Amino acid sequence: MSNLIAASSGPVGILLAIIAFVTMISILVAAHEFGHYLFARLFNMGVEEFAIGLGKPILFSFGKRRYVLPLDERRDAEMLAKEEGEIVKIESAETFEGGGEPREGKIIKTAHGKALEETTIFNIRAWPLGGFVRIKGMMAFEDSHEVNTIGGFYSKPAWQRLIVLFAGPLFSVLAGVIILVPLFMGIGIVKGSQSTILEAPAKGSAADRAGFKLNDQIVSMNGQPVSKFSQIILSVRDQAGKKITFGVLRDGKPLSLTAIPELEPTKSLVLDENLEPTGAVRQQAKLGIPIKQIKMKLGFGSALVESASTPFQVIKLLAGMVNKPAELKENVGGPIGIAAKTKEAADEGILSVVFLAAQLSISLGIFNLLPIYPLDGGQMVVAFIELFKRKRLSFRMQNAIAYVGVAAILVLVVSVVTLDVSRLLPGGKPSAVQKK
């Protein structure tokens, strides 16, 4: 996957980079939640709160927005009976979560009849790495009365709920892609080159002992022509301990060199014919010749294509890991892994941190689509089922899905944190994605 060209470093730069990271994550969380918020309002769902950050206390509120919910004659007779301008009490999600006061709404008159006017409050909460949108009526009850909540999430058709749930991950991915475009244009990318003109081999490596030098050009292997560097990698990695004869041009003069690839001591990412990670990790035979890196700034069109391809690269990596579960531990990183990557990015400069935040936004957007409750993907599964059943799942079934999903998330969290901690212990190995 393409890497951002690093910017400046230093103590002040690291501090600014950390501040930039927290700020970027908050912006990207806001983008995710805005996706939910925007489509909830498009479908006339009530939104009680839009929060950046988690936990309490609420540091400050930065805005309020009034919205109008139409009243249904068949369902909302009690509200319709109230006088225009009358203030009404409305139970909110916080009321049920422990101690929250009922919210207030007002009966108003519109061109289409009476309606309920409510307010979305926009807040900043204490913990900056997170956020949420509190949509009305998302709490399920045994008697399913949530389907009668005015402007409630479950009062709307399943297809509308599907779109609202999908919008959050979609906006996370889009936000990451949008941020990458100007970075690729202004700062550029570093990509592996397919040139067979070599970088200097690592000292003491198989290539070094065989006599390879900087700017040698490999033109053949065991008599077979070579035109791309990936051909060398794909051939060499399975030939540990075997002699390979290379046809080489040095200063325009042909010569023959023989090298014996060595099996690396640890596992590393497997590259494909485009020098991109496949997601697989294993021990490979190597010569010790680094891939030549090309630095380039992109025009708008190329930057857009490169940015738009990043989500597909992430999916490709995830698919590669899923296909080989035994190797997941080599790739997966949790909070400690993210902190380590943030430290590396901070050492390189603010722009590198911005790039990391954009990648995280894309990755977390895709992660949120996993069919595990309470992730957006898990809730989408429930909405899909209800779309085809044309009615709500039973309260018992909803609870069963929730318990299984929460248990799966807890197992995942504990496993990832355990892997993170094990890498810090003596003898622990960094994950493949952490290796340079």
pLDDT score of 422 more than 80: no
CA dihedral angle for residue 314, residue 319, residue 320, residue 325, rounded to 10 degrees: 120
Q: How does pLDDT run across 2-54, given as a tens digit for each residue?
A: 444 444 445 665 666 677 777 878 888 999 999 999 999 999 999 999 999 88
Which residue in 15, 28, 9 sits closest to 358, CA to CA?
Answer: 28
**Average pLDDT rounded to a whole number, residues 419-435:** 58
Q: Return the pLDDT at 412.
A: 81
DSSP letter assigned to residue 292: P
Give the separation between CA 413 and CA 379, rounded to whole angstroms.
19
Instruction: Pick the more confident residue, 187 or 329.
Output: 187
Q: Return the pLDDT at 45.
A: 94
Query: What are 170's two structure tokens?
Result: 């979609």
Strands 217-221 and 244-250 come out as antiparallel
Reported pTM = 0.77
Q: How does pLDDT run across 122-148, given as a tens digit for each residue?
A: 999 988 878 999 999 888 888 888 888
pLDDT score of 97 more than 70: no
- Average per-residue pLDDT in the chain? 84
Q: How confident is the model at residue 237 (pLDDT cuts 50, 70, 90)?
A: very high
127 touches 57 (CB < 8 A): no
Q: Return the pLDDT at 73.
A: 82
Q: Return the pLDDT at 436.
A: 38
Residue with tokens 């592996």: 192
Q: Return the pLDDT at 32.
A: 95
Whole-angstrom CA distances from 98 to 29, 54, 147, 399 are 25, 16, 22, 20
- Label residues 267-294 b or e (16+ Cβ within 10 Å = b): bbbbbeeeebbbbbbeebbbbbbebeee
Cβ neighbours for 114, distance < 8 A, ≥ 6 positions apart: 71, 79, 80, 84, 107, 108
DSSP letter assigned to residue 251: T
Backbone dihedral angles phi then psi of residue 299, each to the nearest 5 degrees = -75, 170
- What's the first-to-final CA gap in the chain, in angstroms? 13
What domains appear along the chain, each with residue ranges and CATH number?
194-291 (2.30.42.10)
Alpha-carbon radius of gyration of the chain:
28
Q: Return the pLDDT at 52.
A: 92
**Cis bond leading into 57, ω under 30°?**
yes
**Average pLDDT rounded to a whole number, residues 102-118:** 87
Q: Return the pLDDT at 140.
A: 80
Q: Return the pLDDT at 79.
A: 86
Give the separation between CA 158 and CA 390, rounded to whole angstroms.
8
- Give bridge partners of residue 89 from the DSSP assignment: 104
Which residue in 90, 115, 116, 93 sits closest to 103, CA to CA?
Answer: 90
**Average pLDDT rounded to a whole number, residues 49-71:** 89
Crossing angle between the packed helical segments 395-424 and 335-348, to the nearest 10 degrees = 50
Q: Return the pLDDT at 333.
A: 60
Angle at CA of residue 201, ends 196 and 202, nearest 5° = 145
Q: How does pLDDT run across 326-375, given as a tens digit for each residue?
A: 555 555 566 666 766 777 766 766 777 788 888 889 988 998 998 988 89
**Average pLDDT rounded to a whole number, residues 278-297:** 87
Q: How does pLDDT run across 376-420, given as a tens digit for each residue?
A: 999 999 999 999 988 888 888 988 988 998 898 888 888 777 776
398 touches 381 (CB < 8 A): no
332 touches 325 (CB < 8 A): no
